[in-house]
A and B are shown apart, each in its own frame.
Chain A
């Protein structure tokens, strides 16, 4: 973004600070700051029922007694919740067609070789584009409706499916789980809701693109996905953000419920603005993602994390039911001054529960990447099994890769395996590629993609291509 444009944006924001809450302008925005009044305004604005407001206010009380967690291997500037704007709706709430979506967003997609248009055409992909906090476009609803699948924005779900929301919201990630979860519960403005009825195999990949649109607005998405007994769903979540000067806070919560025999695949490509090569700007990404697995069910988390200045994210599985399976496949790329502390928690409660963790960290520039994982086997979890593999790939001398595997085993029958490697792209590998005519950047992209293959191959096809290109883009200029 040009400096001038940035200045204008800042001026606009400043103006709004003076006028406070303005309701009838093109972009609706609240004044910055967090208090009960703001929370009531959010709830009001969204015409929420009272129970929802109460839920938020309760979370706000909890938040006031919590502190920003400091155990992660991250260097974070203090976050001032009072400086954040908690609600911003785009000019238009509903796009008639996806063509009306911001051309900047489309440009990003094009750079990735994947336009929404194209996406729309790919049979089996339903896209719910979230620009800032309000869901603006939903497609393929009809097909889904016929199967009884509900795929809508959280706002709609609160309106149209209050019983489901009441029953499951906060059931996996309660408001008192952690600071950012409490914050999210208090102020979340939208997100996606998905319900798959018993025995239904969702025939298409459900896909959401998130995007931060307004300067200075926090993103507090709330996603709730319920897979009824014996059902199956694959859900894709992609995030792209344009360049921003200021740090932006993103604190999302994702809750998955896999009932008996259900299977949920949840894939993420996270490409928020990482800040510039001097370490200015970028998104602060604090996400709580967790799924609970009932009997014979399975949850797979796959994530490609290339963006954000700071990533704090541990998609987890609570393996409650017997024979349930949790999987975590992750690629986390950090470049320049990015910091990532990411990993997973596998909590084994049921008998014969299994978990697999494959984490690939790629660090370049002056960045820092940490894997933090907990494998917990409770007393009741007879014959639990875990396999973890945590690999780090270092590029250059100035980056750091760290692994913090925590294992708590309270049952002697558990089998836990952990493997870890640290490697570098060797000069010989680079020379070999170059000798074949492949220039350095492409060679690095190729080698990194190869290194991440075990994770990439878990992604749905249309996402895998995007992810591969993202890896290359995010490592541009990382060597030489």
Chain B
């Protein structure tokens, strides 16, 4: 599904951030990425999704067997990539409802498919809002404007469920969530989880991984993956910190 080989990435201002990163994610797999602040986790998420702030200097970035390094972010989204942002941005005046409808039908359009009817969309909105214990009034509010930290994250997962992506990247979606919200977010991920859908879960904490069982755990440090393994790595990190590696 996702193939990253020796990926070297700079900022627009030529600061080197990712320094030869390798990662393979197959269908149905859940990968957790952990690592100290500033190690390049969000940068990795941004580069995979096509944020123009970052420049690929070297390496391979393939999604669904295709080189996507030159592809527009909206095209990557259309073929099934989703990023739950660490810091979701506010869009005043556009309701979450309206925003996700636009996104859904844009995606249909890009794929050459018919737009969903208002009825179909409403049914999906209701189903997914229910699953995340979001009430419908919340969806009428402007995208992320005045949302609490937890609400923002929940809104991200709501959009993820609506868009039904093949690969979802969750960038610290668990940070700042209380245990109930954490469970709800995890249930959202588990709802989408299937043998066809994959996840990259960026987190600092073991506790999210108690609810979303990862197949692999990687440790990112200074722009490289320095350790990979199973869920036991997360446990060790929780106990001993990054110095342990």
**Chain A residues within CB distance 8 Å of chain B:** 426-429, 431-440, 442, 446-447, 449-454
Contacts and interface: CB of A to CB of B under 8 A. Distances in A.
B103 A438 contact: yes
B77 A436 contact: yes
B74 A429 contact: no
B94 interface: yes
A450 B107 CA distance: 21
B99 A427 contact: no
Given A435-B49, A435-B77, A446 B89 contact: no
A449 B99 CA distance: 12
Given A434-B73, A435-B73, A429 B91 contact: yes
B121 to A, nearest CB: 14
Interface centre among A432, A437, A450 (most CB of B within 10 A): A437
Contacts of A453: 92-94
Nearest to B85: A432
Interface in B130-148: 142
Given A431-B51, A437-B107, A442-B102, 9 more contacts: A429-B89, A432-B91, A434-B73, A435-B77, A435-B85, A439-B72, A439-B106, A450-B91, A453-B93
Contacts of B99: 436, 446
Nearest to B49: A435
A442 B83 CA distance: 19
B94 A450 contact: yes
Interface of A is mostly: helix
B92 A437 contact: no
Interface string B86-103: 001111111000011011
Given A434-B73, A438-B74, A447 B102 contact: no
Contacts of B93: 449-454
Contacts of A439: 72, 74, 106
B52 A437 contact: no
Contacts of B74: 434-435, 437-440
B170 interface: no
A427 B103 contact: no
Contact of B52 (A431, A433, A438, A452): A431
Given A431-B73, A437-B107, A451 B92 contact: yes
B43 interface: no
A389 to B, nearest CB: 13
A428 B159 contact: no
A428 B90 CA distance: 9
B227 interface: no
B196 interface: no
B53 interface: yes
Contacts of B92: 450-451, 453
A432 B152 CA distance: 13
A449 B94 CA distance: 8
Nearest to A438: B106
23 contacts: A427-B52, A428-B89, A429-B91, A431-B53, A433-B103, A434-B72, A435-B83, A436-B106, A437-B74, A437-B77, A437-B78, A438-B74, A438-B102, A440-B74, A442-B106, A446-B94, A446-B102, A449-B93, A449-B94, A450-B91, A450-B92, A451-B92, A452-B93
Nearest to B107: A437
A434 B50 CA distance: 9
B46 to A, nearest CB: 8
Contacts of A432: 85, 88-89, 91
A447 B143 CA distance: 11
B94 A447 contact: yes
A437 B99 CA distance: 11
B220 interface: no
A426 B89 CA distance: 9
Contacts of B32: none
A433 B53 CA distance: 15
A450 B102 CA distance: 13
Nearest to B142: A450
B195 to A, nearest CB: 24
A429 B102 CA distance: 15
CB-based closest 8 A-B pairs = A450-B93, A453-B93, A437-B77, A450-B94, A436-B103, A434-B73, A437-B107, A434-B74
Nearest to A452: B93
A6 B89 CA distance: 48
A434 B74 CA distance: 5
Contacts of B83: 435
A459 to B, nearest CB: 14
B37 interface: no
Contacts of A449: 93-94
Interface string B47-73: 001111100000000000000000011
A205 to B, nearest CB: 24
Contacts of A434: 50, 72-74, 77
Nearest to B88: A432
B190 interface: no
A439 B72 CA distance: 9
Contacts of B102: 438, 442, 446
B208 interface: no
B194 interface: no
A97 to B, nearest CB: 32
Interface centre among B78, B100, B102 (most CB of A within 10 A): B102
Contacts of B163: 436-437
Contacts of B72: 434, 439
